[in-house]
Structure 1
Amino acid sequence: MNDQPLLAAVGVSGFDERVYRLLLRQPGRRAAELAAVLEVGAPRVRAALARLDGNGLVRRVRSGVYEAVRPEGALASLVSMRRMEAEARLAEVIKGAGELALLYDSGRMGASGAPGVVEVLSDPQAVRRELMEQNAMASSEVLYLDTPPYVARPEGYGDSNAVEEANTREFLARGVDLRVIYCPASFHRPGRLETLLRLAQEGERSRMLPHVPFKLRVTDRRAAMLPLMDGVYDHIAVLRPSRLLDALIELFELYWERAQPLAGRQAPPDDGPSEEEQVVLRLLKSGLKDEAIGRQLGVSTRTATRKIAAVMERLGATTRFQAGLEAAARGWL
């Protein structure tokens, strides 16, 4: 069996992992017995067992005696906890984004004249130039977090479905990998959902979260644009290669892992919904609750809930909103 350290990534020290592995092999041992095998003092082993207990990897069964929790579930929970902790720390960076404006006057780093890490653009024309430069330099990947409010963009950057389709197709034609995370509020513009579903079929990789906390665009992992205030196209922070940019990219990747695909696999033409499934989907789209849907179908609330769950399962959806998106993608609505 491979005894190479494995758990450092989730904050378990090398010594604690040795104690954990020994307890896996020899369950029910007292701390003193584990210490004898490891040739260390018992207090050190007891402290390690307390830390492992805190991480959910072992549990105390009686005084001085611990047993390991089954590793698959325990480690999955620990990984999930560490991921949430990392996301919370990175989110703190975003909360302090307003302070980035204080770096505006620096502009340059040190006496070397190297470009600054953060530049704040307060002129709409300067924002337009930066957008054009980032569009032109994009060669491999562009990452977006998309959320309202949406306001008039700098001259030359209209906000319409046609402009969005044209810009996206230009990126895709150049081989740029587009990854975008949307939220329900993203569908502010009539017809935008249908536009995004078409673009997803053409190659844009799009996912959904119930909430996206701020706007973000990252180009080739070399530059990012981040509004410091909502509703205006000035005070845009432009970030260059730095630990701050790395943190924003890592935060995007965490959101990407949690997000659900905007559009699923296209169903075969003959695999359409039944008449009852279409009725259920239309009632869901209208915003009715289970009780009201049951009345419309002439069944109990519990039966209506089961029918909704069956439609969601067939669509491979985990939420009702996702079911609506998937149904629209398949042409069921």
Structure 2
Amino acid sequence: MSSLASFGVDSKAQAVYTTLLAHPNWALGEIAESLQISPPEVKSALHHLIKNSLLYASSEKTGRYIPLDPEVGLVPVIERIEAELDARRSQLARDRATISELRHKYTDLTTRHSSITEETFDNVEAAEAKLLALTKKARKQIDILGNFELIGEGSPQEDALISKALSSDLAVRSILLESMRNSAPQASRASWISTLGADVRTAPTLPSRMVIYDRSTVAISGAENGSGAEVAVITASAATHALQELFELVWIGSSPLESPHNESDRGALGSREMALLRMLAAGLTDDGIARQLDVSLRTVRRHTSQLFEKLTARSRFQAGAEAARRGWI
């Protein structure tokens, strides 16, 4: 049997309560003998159980104690813990907003003291060489929107870039179009990238095709031309920060590659509901979610209520636990 220690009920008190459930007419001495503990220990446990609303002393029979439904005493404790967790999540969201504001101020400061560096490549070979150099130079992280190389999805050059990135202890996140799941070759390719160690997700639409290196350098696809795709490389500017924020927003609303992607498999959850679910799990407040989704606070609360109903949950904590159980987050 699981312990109730998190509710303030120690093992002896729990044993006494369990014994009284089986033998409600037993007196203090019988309980002590059965559990092989001293009468003072039983008395202390009884007082503890009364304090936690799990027992009450019989008014008709002296020395008799009547067990109460555990929901009477423990469910309010659960709700109090959930309320504390919600308050903590709200505080974390406010802290995150403060950090974001400070980051913007820091970015403004560094931008004023550094010039924007931008290179443009409209030649395939030159662009490939630059992307390979950026991949070799990366030290911590590569984030990808669309195919990796920006020039030719599935090309030998792209395969080489992916293998290089994933063999050098880099954290690689990739967001692909959700439609690729309907193409066997593309789905197989995505699975291969995931097998190599990348964290792969899909989204219904992508705002752009780009690769972000160490959160500081962005290679972004431009207009198509006769010799391939034009690629611009931007470093050390407020633009790189904004593009990283764009990636993070798309990442929150995307679906893990291994997760169900059709409506029936997800219990009829739409893409907006899945995005809402992930934001709730990430600890965003209703205000924060409203800003991310560009909707009113009232709309967020209405969608949250509908989501809780589908998950048969009464709080964010329960909704997160149920969504995790179903493998949705």
Name the TM-score, length of structure 2 as normaliser.
0.42
Name the TM-score, length of structure 1 as normaliser.
0.42
Structure showing greater radius of gyration is 2
